[in-house]
Structure formats: structure tokens, C-alpha cells
Amino acid sequence: DVKVTQSSRYLVKRTGEKVFLECVQDMDHENMFWYRQDPGLGLRLIYFSYDVKMKEKGDIPEGYSVSREKKERFSLILESASTNQTSMYLCASRAGRRALWGQPQHFGDGTRLSIL
Amino acid sequence: SQQGEEDPQALSIQEGENATMNCSYKTSINNLQWYRQNSGRGLVHLILIRSNEREKHSGRLRVTLDTSKKSSSLLITASRAADTASYFCATITSYGKLTFGQGTILTVHP
């Protein structure tokens, strides 16, 4: 089975801090995704990556950046955390060949981030 | 705006009853997927139905797709307390990105 591991289940940070959320997958998937999930708003895509060192903006990239230096690892960075970034963050991966774009995504258990 | 919209937002039933959740979407799709999320956890893929399919089964799950109405439904038969979770439909957009609805919260009472 595919395993997507997020480094922290819960994280508390202060306004203005630089925050790193880490995600590792063990299935050699080309594609990795970062979402945030908020009540009433569902899941929204922040960034995704289809290859090492490649990144694409999702629907709500403002205030975030990402890093993909190795295929198995995709990091989400909050450059200067703000209270409106308090949320549940979910990482996902999926095989990347075009013929497999319609295949399911595999999710980590999420990081619940609180910005004080 | 969300591509998929689930209905109802919340559903409460007794164990053994069937649960039906509906999803509507706006644009053409290649496939539609349903996911489950237990409280405080990540999403787990349940079933995928392609645009040229009308119905698909997996265990106690039955999914239908009506592309003319741009809608899908998920039926869980003989529900169990362990089925208590949020259920999301998702459609594929460019580069295989998923767009999720806001989900249906299902509560199954023992």
C-alpha cells in the first residue's frame, strides 16, 4: 500500500514565524499535492508538483511556497505565518504518467496547524 | 467555485439503514471519485467511476453517474457505525488535479 507520511499531526506556531510542513511518500510517485481543509470550504489546492524541482500553483498559493528537492519529499512553507493560515493541511501523491492522471490520490493523515 | 457539490451536507441514520449521498458538478469530466474521511484523518479513496460508466459497485458501495445531469450518487447499503465519516466527491481537472466538493457528514447510530 502507498504510504504518505506527514511529519507532524499537530503544530502550534506564532504569527510571523517561518513554518515548514513536510510530506514523504514511499511509492515513487511523480505527482505530489498540498491542500488545506477548512470547515465550509472543503479541500483547496495550494500547490502541486509533477516532478523534482517542478511546482505549479493551485487555487490558493498566496502566502505559501513549496520545495521538491527529492522525488519522495514535498515541503510546504509558510513564509511568515498568519492567523488566517490556521487550518488542516493535507498532502497527497499520485503516479504521474499522463495515462494515470485520473487515478486516485493517496493522502497523508494531515497536519493540524494553529497560528497564534 | 467548487466543481463538486454534495447533498445533503449532513445525514444521520440508524445502523442497518442505507445512506445515499449526491454530488453535482459543473463541467465535463473524465471520471469522478468518492473519498471518505474519518474524523481528524486524511482522505481515503473509495471508488472511481469513469464518464462512460453509469453504475459501479464495490462491496456495500454503489455509485451511479449521470453525465447528462452532471450528477453522481453514492449509496452505502446496510450501514455500520464504522461508516461514520465525511464523504467527498471529486472530479479531475487539468494535469490530473482533483477538485473536491464540501462533503457530506454521515453519522450512523448503533
- pLDDT at residue B84 greater than cutoff 70: yes
State how far the Cα of A35 lies from the Cα of A44, in Å rounded to an integer.
5
State how far the Cα of B19 lies from the Cα of A29, in Å rounded to an integer.
34
Percent of chain B residues past pLDDT 90, beyond the cut:
74
Under 8 Å CB pairs connecting chains A and B tally to: 59
Chain B positions touching A106 (Cβ under 8 A) are: 45
Is residue B94 very low, low, confident or very high in pLDDT (cuts 50, 70, 90)? low
User: Could you tell me the domains of chain B?
Assistant: 4-109 (2.60.40.10)
Q: Which residues contact A7 (CB under 8 A, 6 or more apart)?
A: A21, A22, A23, A24, A111
- Mean pLDDT confidence for B15-37: 92
Chain A positions touching B86 (Cβ under 8 A) are: none
Contact yes or no for A110 and B42 at CB 8 A? yes
State how far the Cα of B55 lies from the Cα of B47, in Å rounded to an integer.
11
- Average pLDDT of chain B is 91
Q: Which of A30, A68, B43, B98 is nearest to A77 (CA)?
A: A68
Termini Cα distance of chain B: 36
State how far the Cα of B79 lies from the Cα of B66, in Å rounded to an integer.
24
- Sign of the C-alpha dihedral, residues A76, B96, A39, B17? negative
Nearest to B42 among A40, A42, A108 (CB): A108
Percent of chain B residues past pLDDT 70, beyond the cut:
93
- pLDDT at residue B2 greater than cutoff 50: no
pLDDT, position A67: 97
Over chain A (116 residues), the average pLDDT of each successive run of 10 is 89 97 94 92 91 91 97 97 97 77 87 97
pLDDT, position B80: 97
- Chain CA centroid to CA B31, Å: 13
Residue A79, min C-alpha distance to chain B (Å): 24
Write out the three cell numbers for B53.
460508466
Amino acid A70 reads K
Answer with the residue of higher pLDDT: A80 or B31. Answer: A80
State how far the Cα of B104 lies from the Cα of B100, in Å rounded to an integer.
12
- Mean pLDDT confidence for B1-26: 87
User: Could you tell me the domains of chain A?
Assistant: 4-115 (2.60.40.10)
Is residue B1 very low, low, confident or very high in pLDDT (cuts 50, 70, 90)? very low
A31 and A50 Cβ atoms separated by less than 8 Å: yes
Number of neighbouring beta carbons within 10 Å of residue A67: 16
How many residues in chain A?
A: 116
Task: Report whether the peptide linkage leading into residue A104 is cis, meaning its omega lies within 30 degrees of zero.
Answer: no
Burial of B23: CB neighbours in 10 Å, binned 0-12, 13-18, 19+: buried
